Amino acid sequence: MLRAWSSADVRAAEAPLLAAGEPLMDRAAFALHVEVVRLLRAHRRERRVHGARVVVLAGGGANGGDALHAGALLARRGAAVTAVLAGERAHAGGLAAARAAGVRVLGDVAVGDAVVGDAVGPDDEGDEPGPLVCDALAGADLVLDGLVGIGSDGSGLRGLARALVAAVPTGTGGGHRPVVVAVDVPSGSGVDDGRVAGDVLRADVTVTFGAPKPGLLLPPASGLAGQVVPVDIGLTLPAGGVAVGRLEGADVAALWPVPGATSQKYARGVLGVVCGTTRYPGAGVLATSAAVLAGVGMVRFVDERDERDERDERDERDERDEREDPAAPPRPAGPLATAVLAARPEVVVAGAVGDGRVQAWAAGSGVDPADPARRRDVAAVVAAARDGVPAVLDAGALDLVTEGLGAHVVLTPHAGELARWLADRGERVGGVPVDRDAVEAEPWRWARRAHDLSGATVLLKGATTLVVGAGGSTWSQADGPAWLATAGSGDVLAGVVGALLAGRAEDVVADPALAARLAAAAALVHGRAAHHATPGGPVSALAVAHALPAVVADLLAQDGAPAVRDCPA
């Protein structure tokens, strides 16, 4: 499990060690330079550090200090290092180390009595990089982004720092692009909330100290961090203070409901499904297939009834009452259930919500809000969920969700659906109703808001899927390829979430916080199934469902014990 702590927790953990004179910055810089050495060896044709051209972008705080110290270590190993000072001051120790190691320093900042360099800013403001800086960036093998770390307020870089980021070659059109290593965090990104305001240099690797920060796991900032490499600098972080977590394979294996030798299908969990309509049966097929293939004990699929069916049933019941005959004859499957049975013959068809017991529900995928009969079934599921039955509510069930649900209920909107749900409840940003762009700019904020308003666990789908559960506990999963953005893949996810809720229903009722971990586990398996179905290529939703058994088997075949990859390790 990867866990992120807030910058406040990291600072609090640093404070006593700094007071005791522990060389935290030396540890950070040493680990940073080791990672840069690895990258240079991997990326340079010459496979060595000697002669590599490295540019250090250094802000005026300790983040710049880390970068300058690492630059000094690289220079001592023969790299040609140029440091560009972006602040009105520079980290004195880092600058001294860099100069002593032969780093070329460009910048206009005053350090002590001396003015260092003259390479920045042909204009009066000094916030345009000069030609020496641009040349260094154009020829760099690797750029270290040490402009600002956890000292940033996330409102966007300013001044020369912003201009330097804009001057780093992006490689568009096949041009040269240096490897970019972010120091602690990509400079200027929202360290604690994942916001991105203004330009942030996209990193290939972020070397982060003490613990990952939430912004490295939270979109949109997480999309700019590249590979996150946590470095242990000896901090002790508060055990209960994790701001955001990310499950890994072993954690999911430990959560997965696995039958024992004496298990039977009912005890393993029955999932009731109200997904799809006669007009759009696909969602019924996909959600049901996914639940079966994720290993649920049994699926009870609630068939769609139109008004004529309901009239016939009423007449038939009245006739039975007259005959005093209590036994209802089995109802033939309608067109929707027939389509589902054709794909999954093991499914049991029910005539209505409440016909037969279930441990959990999956409802709403592929249900059109304008379809009154199906919506009544969905509403019955929402009522059951309100009464305490674990449930996953998707798409066409979301607008029936109001406040006061518990965290045993998992909502699975995408950004557009979440925005609509919030806007319908009067949520506004900048004076206008919340829209998809607002949710995509601050997905954590709005997923938490939806959790606060509904009481439910909220799984917000996207390239990175966020889950906010009881007490605001947050999981961030980025396990699937972009090919997973294909019609019907959300229906598959609903089926997987449902299978897990059914398989662990008793545990979820006892501890609703578990629902968020199960939902995150479902997202991981869903993403991996897409990779597994067609490695590197396009994937259909049904193929994702069909890959589930193999992915689950792979996970379970690994050591089932959760590997807590904590930081410090």
Ligand X SMILES: NC(=O)C1=CN([C@@H]2O[C@H](COP(=O)(O)OP(=O)(O)OC[C@H]3O[C@@H](n4cnc5c(N)ncnc54)[C@H](OP(=O)(O)O)[C@@H]3O)[C@@H](O)[C@H]2O)[C@@H](O)CC1
Ligand Y SMILES: Nc1ncnc2c1ncn2[C@@H]1O[C@H](COP(=O)(O)OP(=O)(O)O)[C@@H](O)[C@H]1O
263 is in an annotated binding site: no
Binding flag, residue 183, K ion (CB under 5 A):
yes
Q: How far is the CB of 113 from ligand Y (least distance, A)?
A: 53
How would DSSP label each residue in 446-513?
HHHHHHHHH-SEEEEBSSSEEEE-GGG-EEEE--S-GGG-STTHHHHHHHHHHHHHHHTHHHHHH-TT
| Residue 154 DSSP code | S
Q: How far is the CB of 397 from ligand X (least distance, A)?
A: 42
Cα within 13 Å of Cα(127), Cβ side: 10
How would DSSP label each residue in 17-47?
HHHTT--HHHHHHHHHHHHHHHHHHHHSTT-
Per-residue binder mask for ligand X (CB under 6 A), 115-154, x = binder:
---------------------------------xxxxx--
Structure tokens at 354: 């409440």
Q: 3-state DSSP call for residue 157?
A: coil
461 is in an annotated binding site: yes
Q: How far is the CB of 3 from ligand Y (least distance, A)?
A: 22
Closest Cα partner for 475 from 415, 525, 516?
Answer: 516
Nearer to ligand Y, 53 or 375 (CB): 375
Q: 3-state DSSP call for residue 258?
A: coil
The interface region with ligand Y, picked from 178-186, 268-276, 336-344, 490-498 by CB under 6 A, is 490-498
| Cα(375)–Cα(561) distance, integer angstroms | 42
Nearer to K ion, 199 or 304 (CB): 199
| Beta carbons of 418 and 424 less than 8 angstroms apart | no
Range 130-169, binding K ion (CB under 5 A):
145, 149
Binding flag, residue 85, ligand X (CB under 6 A):
no
Q: Which of 5, 209, 301, 444 binds ligand X (CB under 6 A)?
A: 209
**Which residues have CB under 8 Å from 269's CB, separation 6+?**
257, 296, 297, 298, 359, 360, 499, 502, 503, 504, 505
Beta bridge partners, 465, equal: 477
Residue 537, amino acid: G
The interface region with ligand X, picked from 41-49, 120-128, 183-191, 283-291 by CB under 6 A, is 183-191
| Cα(230)–Cα(209) distance, integer angstroms | 6
The interface region with ligand Y, picked from 227-235, 253-261, 476-484, 548-556 by CB under 6 A, is 476-484
Binding flag, residue 559, ligand X (CB under 6 A):
no
9 binds, among ligand X, ligand Y, K ion, none (CB under 5 to 8 A by kind): none
Q: 3-state DSSP call for residue 299?
A: strand
Binding flag, residue 420, ligand Y (CB under 6 A):
no
155 is in an annotated binding site: no
| Cα(200)–Cα(185) distance, integer angstroms | 10
Q: How far is the CB of 438 from ligand X (least distance, A)?
A: 22
Q: How far is the CB of 123 from ligand X (least distance, A)?
A: 17
Helices 541-557/282-293 angle, 10° precision: 10
Nearer to K ion, 160 or 350 (CB): 160
Q: How far is the CB of 443 from ligand Y (least distance, A)?
A: 11
Per-residue binder mask for ligand X (CB under 6 A), 434-473, x = binder:
----------------------------------------
The dihedrals phi and psi of 435, each to the nearest 5 degrees, come to: -125, 180
248 binds, among ligand X, K ion, ligand Y, none (CB under 5 to 8 A by kind): none
| Cα(399)–Cα(455) distance, integer angstroms | 15
The interface region with ligand Y, picked from 21-29, 68-76, 307-315, 486-494 by CB under 6 A, is 486-494
66 is in an annotated binding site: yes
| Residue 121 DSSP code | -
Closest Cα partner for 492 from 423, 541, 457, 437?
Answer: 541
487 binds, among ligand Y, K ion, ligand X, none (CB under 5 to 8 A by kind): ligand Y
Q: How far is the CB of 367 from ligand Y (least distance, A)?
A: 11
503 binds, among ligand X, K ion, ligand Y, none (CB under 5 to 8 A by kind): none
Binding flag, residue 461, ligand Y (CB under 6 A):
yes
The interface region with ligand Y, picked from 62-70, 95-103, 372-380, 455-463 by CB under 6 A, is 455-463
Residue with tokens 């995928």: 365
414 binds, among ligand X, K ion, ligand Y, none (CB under 5 to 8 A by kind): ligand Y
C-alpha distances in angstroms, 509 versus 3, 118, 496?
A: 25, 66, 18
Binding flag, residue 187, K ion (CB under 5 A):
yes
Binding flag, residue 7, K ion (CB under 5 A):
no
295 is in an annotated binding site: no
Q: How far is the CB of 518 from ligand X (least distance, A)?
A: 34
Nearer to K ion, 28 or 497 (CB): 28
Q: 3-state DSSP call for residue 138?
A: helix
Q: Which of 489, 505, 539, 551 binds ligand Y (CB under 6 A)?
A: 489
Q: How far is the CB of 163 from ligand X (least distance, A)?
A: 10
| Beta carbons of 365 and 494 less than 8 angstroms apart | yes
Nearer to ligand Y, 432 or 482 (CB): 482
CA angle centred on 252, ends 247 and 253, rounded to 5°:
145
Residues at the contact surface with K ion, assessed by CB under 5 A: 63, 145, 149, 183, 187
Residues at the contact surface with ligand Y, assessed by CB under 6 A: 414, 461-463, 465, 480, 482, 484-485, 487-491, 493, 526
Binding site per annotation, positions: 62-66, 145, 184, 187, 283, 366, 414, 461-465, 490-491
Binding site per annotation, positions for AMP: 461-465, 490
